[in-house]
Chain A
Amino acid sequence: MSRLKTLVEHRNGVDPLRGGHALCQGCGIPMVVRVVLGTITRPTVVVNATGCLEVATTRFPTTAWNVPWVHVAFENAAAVASGIEAAQRALARRESLPSAGDVAIVVFAGDGGTYDIGMQALSGALERGHRFLFVCYDNEAYMNTGVQRSGATPFGAGTTTSPVGLESFGKSQRRKDMTAIAVAHHVPYVAQAASTYWHDLSQKVERAARVDGAAFLNVLTDCPLGWGHEPRLAPHVIGAAVETRFWPLYEVVDGRYRLTYEPPKPLPVERWLEGQQRFAHLLRPENAELVELIQETVDRDWAELGSLCRVGDEKGVLS
């Protein structure tokens, strides 16, 4: 069971991602990285797709990383991890690994590097079953380049390439369900988590790190800049995503679905939309129908997820 204290102790006081980097105030990414790397007790090598995390932590000649770290490009992080994993197997066989023991391989990529440009390499690596953990810090748009829409951007969100205007209410398409796409690869562990639900996230990382094969974690991560909220309100905003059931926390272990958290009193979806500049226009009276549509979609998705969780499990919901 993870506790904040053990998360810190696992690294013997050495933070795998040190302070002094250039990520924004209130950015959820470093919290995700620290929970993931603090939970894994084995030595870890990090593969980073191009994006906020990479740019803000490795401006040469400085680095914020105290673990082996590699960045090659935007779309290929999972492929780079595949090569490292193959190298590990080859070197283990001829007994020439540089340091004793098994090294965990963790990829960090944003939603662009996961849902969009990175999906082919990710799909290939999941299908081949490399032993690695792919963590998507999903902040629902291309934040590093200035908040452009991605396949993860939700319906109705205003971004710089799906702007709100006289004839536009923001993004007019639904976000793609990347977690379901990962599940469709029949990998042993897939989960959806949220940055400020660190305890839930840490438990998922523990399980993901134990599997003999590929694991995928999709972590909703706030972006004060792109979402348009005060940095100090990050836990509140992420909380609203979970408590409105917009972002369910669940895991799929060997194909079996399980909710890991059920909001005790589900909130209306307006609680998620309010307080974020990208959704502000949706709360105007003339857009009430759009909010209704979003609520219907959330309810339908939740019901579908519920039925998946009930398959083969009478209790359905475990927490």
Chain B
Amino acid sequence: MSTVAQQLLTGGEAVAHALCQIQPDVVPVYPITPQTPIIQTFSSLVADGEAHTEIVNVESEHSAMSAAIGAALAGARTATATSSQGLALMAEVVYIAASMRAPLTMAVGNRALSGPINIHCDHSDSMLIRDSGVVQLFAENAQEAYDLMVMAPRIAEHPEVSLPVLVCQDGFTITHAAEPVSMLADDDVQAFVGAYRTPVRPLLDAAHPATHGPFAMPDYYFEFRRAQGAALEAARFVVAEVADDFARLTGRRNDAVESYRLDGADVVVVALGSTAGTVKDVVDELRDGGEPVGLLKIRSFRPFPAAALWRLLADRREVIVLDRADSPGGAPPLAADVAFALAGCGATLRGHVYGLGGRDLHPEAIREIFHDQAPRYVGVRGEPCLV
């Protein structure tokens, strides 16, 4: 098992160091809070010669993803990073990156979407591109952000996947909070990710010209989209395979889902991101009091681990989904996915929306959620007012 002494790093620094160890060829990027520490840290590592990467300081996130597609299809290992409005601005191109099967990685510091403008965490930005066809992995803490970032190129570049992989961490809560992080040795990361697997007929191979990004009408568009869906299905198995390899190397498991004290649990919370850590504390406390509660943390939001949810949750009494994003007028995104995965099972389903715009979710509120004493929107003051 490969280990290096722990370092005190923020989540942002941790993924920047992971990027440095991966040594991507090209990193086009644009600053945005709370992603900025990632690119700042990475830029200084490049400036000190720690990484040999072409950083392209583009003029917008739209161009960051566009340049990333160009670089990846040209034959270079490529990464970028963003947050919130930046992800919203590049959303158009995120869809196209997936459609063009550009195998790149992107670190995301999740942050609320405007308006009103806000810089703190929720998952609205990731949910905006939920249907784009990219892989989205959510970290609970800085260690997972590092681990998932090291795993990401292997998943993105697997020939049956060949898709963008997003490594999401909660803005500020993870990006800016320092924690002890176990990093691998540089050589181990290099050996783990391997050489970049160049796409078929890369753009710079002028001897073998290919047309990338053609015009597809009703006679072919649907087939393109289904092929992309099949790649995301394949990613399900590749995530599992890469997680196994990573666990062999580090002893740390980063599977699509993490079960926490599910044995004998009647009431189970489902959550993404850093909130899972707080829920674990509350589960421990309630378990100590004899209450049969547990947590199912979802790391792989896309592809969504529907079969695992059925296997792990179908027989529970109650499943409670915590969404850090809303879908006004409809079902919140995580709740909708969980409900679809568990359709026809005996469990009662309940959903709560919490933490929009960086509002904290305290253990007391999580206790109330477990005890069905919480409102649908947890932590919001008063009744909605009509202006």
Query: Which residues of A pack against B, CB within 8 Å?
Result: 43-45, 47, 54-55, 58-61, 63, 65-73, 75-76, 78-84, 86-91, 93-94, 96-99, 103, 120-121, 123-124, 127-128
Contact = CB atoms under 8 A, between A and B. Distances in A.
A87 B63 contact: no
Interface of B: 25-26, 28, 52-54, 56-60, 62-64, 66-76, 78, 92-93, 96, 100, 198, 201-217, 220, 224
A163 B208 CA distance: 46
A69 B209 contact: yes
Given A67-B209, A72-B100, A86 B215 contact: no
A98 B215 contact: no
A97 B68 CA distance: 17
A78 B69 CA distance: 12
Contacts of A86: 25-26, 28, 54, 56, 67, 71, 76
B206 to A, nearest CB: 3
Nearest to B59: A124
Nearest to A61: B220
A97 B204 contact: yes
B235 to A, nearest CB: 22
A59 B25 contact: no
Given A68-B203, A88-B74, A128 B56 contact: yes
Contacts of B214: 58-60, 63, 71
Contacts of B54: 86-87, 89-90
Contacts of B220: 60-61
B66 A98 contact: no
Contact of A82 (B28, B92, B201): B28
A124 B74 contact: no
Contact of A60 (B63, B67, B216): B216
Contacts of B215: 54-55, 58-60, 71
A114 B52 CA distance: 33
Contact of A80 (B26, B69, B208): B69
Given A60-B220, A103-B204, A72 B209 contact: no
A84 B71 contact: yes
A124 B70 contact: no
A68 B205 contact: yes
Contact of A98 (B52, B58, B100, B205): B205
Contacts of A89: 54
Contacts of A58: 211, 213-215
A283 B211 CA distance: 45
Nearest to B55: A86
24 contacts: A60-B215, A63-B211, A65-B209, A67-B206, A67-B209, A68-B201, A68-B203, A68-B204, A69-B209, A73-B96, A75-B62, A76-B62, A76-B66, A79-B58, A82-B58, A83-B78, A84-B70, A86-B28, A90-B25, A98-B75, A98-B202, A99-B205, A103-B206, A124-B58
A71 to B, nearest CB: 4
Contact of A72 (B57, B59, B96, B208): B96
A43 B202 CA distance: 14
B217 A59 contact: yes
Given A45-B74, A45-B206, 20 more contacts: A63-B211, A65-B209, A70-B211, A72-B69, A72-B70, A73-B66, A73-B92, A76-B62, A79-B64, A79-B66, A80-B69, A84-B73, A86-B56, A86-B76, A88-B74, A94-B52, A98-B208, A99-B207, A120-B63, A121-B60
Given A72-B93, A73-B93, A79 B70 contact: yes
A80 B94 CA distance: 13
A82 B56 contact: yes
B212 A99 contact: no
B274 to A, nearest CB: 32
A87 B70 contact: yes
A87 B199 CA distance: 13
A104 to B, nearest CB: 9
A72 B211 contact: no
A36 to B, nearest CB: 16
B211 A83 contact: no
B202 A120 contact: no
Contacts of A71: 212-215
A90 B96 contact: no
A55 B142 CA distance: 45
Residue of A54, A58, A60, A90 with most partner-chain B CB within 10 A: A90
The list of the 5 closest CB pairs from A to B, nearest first, reads: A83-B70, A124-B59, A43-B206, A83-B67, A87-B76
